[in-house]
A and B are shown apart, each in its own frame.
Chain A
Amino acid sequence: MFALSTSPIDARALQDAMRRPEAGAFVCFEGWVRNTNEGRTVTLLEYEAFEAVACSEGSHILHEARERFGLLDARCAHRVGALAIGDMAVWVGVVSGHRGEAFAACRYIIDEVKKRVPIWKKEHYSDGDSGWVNCECHCGAEVHVHAEPVTEAQLYARQVCLPEVSQEGQDRLRRGRVLIVGAGGLGCPAALYLAAAGVGEIGICDSDTVDASNLHRQILFGIQDIGAPKAERAVDRIKSMYPFTIFTPYPERLTDKNAMEMFCKHDIILDCTDNFEVKFLINDAAVLSKKSAVFASIYQWEGQVQVYQPGTETPCLRCQWPDMPEPDCVRTCAEAGVLGAVPGVFGAMQALEALKLLLGRPALPGLLLFDLLSGQPHRAGLKRSASCPVCGTNPTIRSVDPANYGDGLDVEVEGAGEGNGTFDGFEVIDIREPQEIRERPLAGLKSTAIPASRFEQDSLPLSTDGRYLLCCAHGARSKYLARRLRARGYPHVFSLKGGAEALV
């Protein structure tokens, strides 16, 4: 007989009801409400039951116990509702001919009741907090399905048997250190495949937090992660899956200040970002710190992968694009739209290229373009350019200068000494077309007029140590040109923020 009760359990009455002449042993178990659980002070307990199923499942357990242990009787009572410290929560009583079966059966019943009967316990703690026991995700009562220790040999058996991997390659992977910049649609699958393959150390750099609109493609995160910092949450998730890898979260933006230091601790950098500023920073920092980099970009259904490996013929980003393209000329996932499986494919390819590099295999030559909507792959043969401003024979970019990544270029009108009509120490160059200048001359500012198109020529009317302030109508063209000129070896070129408009 199994009973649920909202009022206190009368143990005496239950026990008396089980007396009978043939009984030689009676064993009972009482569960009481304890004042602590896992180091926290418990003040109150609440039990909730799914009554119909609890009673039928409970009766079933008692019936099993009677059959299995040859009992004369077995009963159980369980409280529901609010209980105070010291109250009896559950009572189990068994009667049999001899004590052995009675002890064993009593133990069996309470263990099965705890496992199978749909009764839930909510604890209220002295600090005002409360929680459902066994329901909270981090509780210690997790069932460990795999009790046997797992060896690395078991984990990687299916890849070690590839001739290109072998045990020697697996050891290389274990010594490998990969930095993933961007824990988004590319970075999440890349991190998973690298960790699953047994890469020894993985760093994840991202300053963002998880947004609901990220989940369809950023597969390390679930709805419970919305609002949480990506780098830390990604590491939490992935390290519970792959205990043989050391993970380091970098919950910060990659900048000119931290890039070189971060890169030095890794062998391969994965560019899993979605903006040019950071891509070019990764590119330059990788070339300057002599690290391999695997770049990927996606746009709607298509994407591309490119590998830079120092000391080989593989090109860097600036071999193709000496100047960083204008940020305005690309649209991000937020604007253009994307289906999560697309960055999934390219993120997995980045992981694959990184694994091949760690295994000592040749880097992917050139650029791989893939339109996943039509299924059309395309290989573009890119070569390293001797005139590349960063990896060429006479590089002009010798350090990570913030001005090359869209920062530090602008000069504000305010505070630049406009009162006396001069920007001290600058030679001001008006890069607008002659007609524009006629329509709106620079208000009270001494300047030289050189139209922007003039800077397309090979020889420039500038000296490498001169300080120049470029000016256009609104500050967009001048900023773009300033960045390009810096990449061409003129480090002290600035842009007037707001342009001619701002001087009025």
Chain B
Amino acid sequence: MSANGAKNISVQYFAMLREQRGLSKESLATHAQSAAALYEELRFQHGFTLPLERMRVIVNESFQPWDVSLSEGDEVVFVPPVAGG
């Protein structure tokens, strides 16, 4: 945990989010309590057009509900709606 109480989180982006963010992976410090709060924070910063309801979130390699709380060192992946096949 950093001096001001922010958590260090690694975030990974795919597809449209990666393009809108301009990179696929980053480490950042945040005060966001939940995955949802972190997404909204980043959405505001980077202008992501996908609303949270259409996305899913993976924390430390498993799918989690959006209200999952975040801890120092968590690895978060925002998963846009998929279209395989």
Please, which residues of chain B bring their CB within 8 A of the CB of A290? none
Minimum Cβ distance to chain A for residue B46 (Å): 10
Give which listed residue, A52, A119, A223, contacts B84 with CB less than 8 A: A119
Interface presence of B49 (CB below 8 A): yes
Task: Decide: A120 and B85 in contact? CB cutoff 8 A.
Answer: no
Cα of A109 to Cα of B14 in the assembled complex, Å: 23
Q: How many chain B residues have a CB neighbour from A under 8 Å? A: 21
Please, which residues of chain B bring their CB within 8 A of the CB of A52? 61
Please, which residues of chain A bring their CB within 8 A of the CB of B83? 114, 119-121, 132-135, 141
Task: Decide: B47 and A120 in contact? CB cutoff 8 A.
Answer: no
Interface presence of A53 (CB below 8 A): yes
B 19-51 binary contact with A (CB < 8 Å = 1; else 0): 000000000000000000000000110010111
Please, which residues of chain A bring their CB within 8 A of the CB of B14? 48, 50, 118, 120
Cα of A223 to Cα of B77 in the assembled complex, Å: 22
Interface presence of A457 (CB below 8 A): no
Cα of A114 to Cα of B82 in the assembled complex, Å: 7
Task: Decide: B16 and A120 in contact? CB cutoff 8 A.
Answer: yes
Interface presence of A90 (CB below 8 A): yes
Task: Decide: B49 and A78 in contact? CB cutoff 8 A.
Answer: no
A 213-234 binary contact with B (CB < 8 Å = 1; else 0): 0000000000110000000000
The number of residue pairs between A and B whose CB atoms lie closer than 8 Å in the complex comes to 75
Minimum Cβ distance to chain A for residue B13 (Å): 10
Q: Which single residue of chain A is at the shortest CB-CB distance from B17?
A: A135
Cα of A211 to Cα of B52 in the assembled complex, Å: 23
Interface presence of A307 (CB below 8 A): no
A78-B85 in contact given A132-B15, A135-B16, A224-B49 (Cβ < 8 Å): yes
Interface presence of A110 (CB below 8 A): yes
Task: Decide: B47 and A117 in contact? CB cutoff 8 A.
Answer: no
Q: Which single residue of chain A is at the shortest CB-CB distance from B82?
A: A118
Please, which residues of chain B bring their CB within 8 A of the CB of A137? 49-51
Contact residues on A (Cβ < 8 Å of other chain), bracket:
20 to 34
Please, which residues of chain A bring their CB within 8 A of the CB of B9? none
Interface presence of A122 (CB below 8 A): yes
Minimum Cβ distance to chain A for residue B41 (Å): 12
A113-B85 in contact given A118-B14, A120-B15, A132-B15 (Cβ < 8 Å): yes
Interface presence of A440 (CB below 8 A): no
Please, which residues of chain A bring their CB within 8 A of the CB of B12? 50
Q: Which single residue of chain B is at the shortest CB-CB distance from A50?
A: B14
Interface presence of A116 (CB below 8 A): yes
Minimum Cβ distance to chain B for residue A83 (Å): 12
Which DSSP category, helix, strand, loop or mixed, fits chain A's interface? mixed
A134-B58 in contact given A118-B14, A120-B16, A224-B47 (Cβ < 8 Å): no
Task: Decide: A132 and B79 in contact? CB cutoff 8 A.
Answer: no
Interface presence of B65 (CB below 8 A): no
Please, which residues of chain A bring their CB within 8 A of the CB of B73? none
Q: Which single residue of chain B is at the shortest CB-CB distance from A29?
A: B85
Interface presence of A89 (CB below 8 A): yes
A 121-163 binary contact with B (CB < 8 Å = 1; else 0): 1100000000011110100010000000000000000000000
Task: Decide: A223 and B47 in contact? CB cutoff 8 A.
Answer: yes
Cα of A120 to Cα of B83 in the assembled complex, Å: 5
Task: Decide: A90 and B81 in contact? CB cutoff 8 A.
Answer: no
Interface presence of A31 (CB below 8 A): yes
Cα of A8 to Cα of B79 in the assembled complex, Å: 26
Interface presence of A115 (CB below 8 A): yes
Minimum Cβ distance to chain A for residue B61 (Å): 7
Cα of A54 to Cα of B43 in the assembled complex, Å: 24
Minimum Cβ distance to chain B for residue A62 (Å): 14
Cα of A444 to Cα of B78 in the assembled complex, Å: 76
Cα of A89 to Cα of B80 in the assembled complex, Å: 20
A residues 310-353 touching B (CB-CB < 8 Å): none
Please, which residues of chain B bring their CB within 8 A of the CB of A224? 47, 49
Q: Which single residue of chain A is at the shortest CB-CB distance from B50?
A: A135
Minimum Cβ distance to chain B for residue A48 (Å): 6
Please, which residues of chain A bring their CB within 8 A of the CB of B49? 137, 224
- Of B61, B77, B81, chain A has the most CB atoms within 10 Å of the CB of B81
Cα of A141 to Cα of B85 in the assembled complex, Å: 15
Cα of A120 to Cα of B19 in the assembled complex, Å: 12
Please, which residues of chain B bring their CB within 8 A of the CB of A48? 14-15, 18
Q: Which single residue of chain B is at the shortest CB-CB distance from A131?
A: B16
16 contacts between A and B (CB under 8 A): A48-B15, A50-B12, A50-B14, A50-B79, A53-B61, A54-B84, A90-B84, A113-B84, A115-B82, A116-B82, A122-B15, A134-B80, A135-B81, A135-B83, A141-B81, A141-B83
Interface residues of B (CB under 8 A from A): 12, 14-16, 18, 43-44, 47, 49-51, 58, 61, 77, 79-85
Interface residues of A (CB under 8 A from B): 31, 47-50, 52-54, 78, 89-90, 110, 113-122, 132-135, 137, 141, 223-224
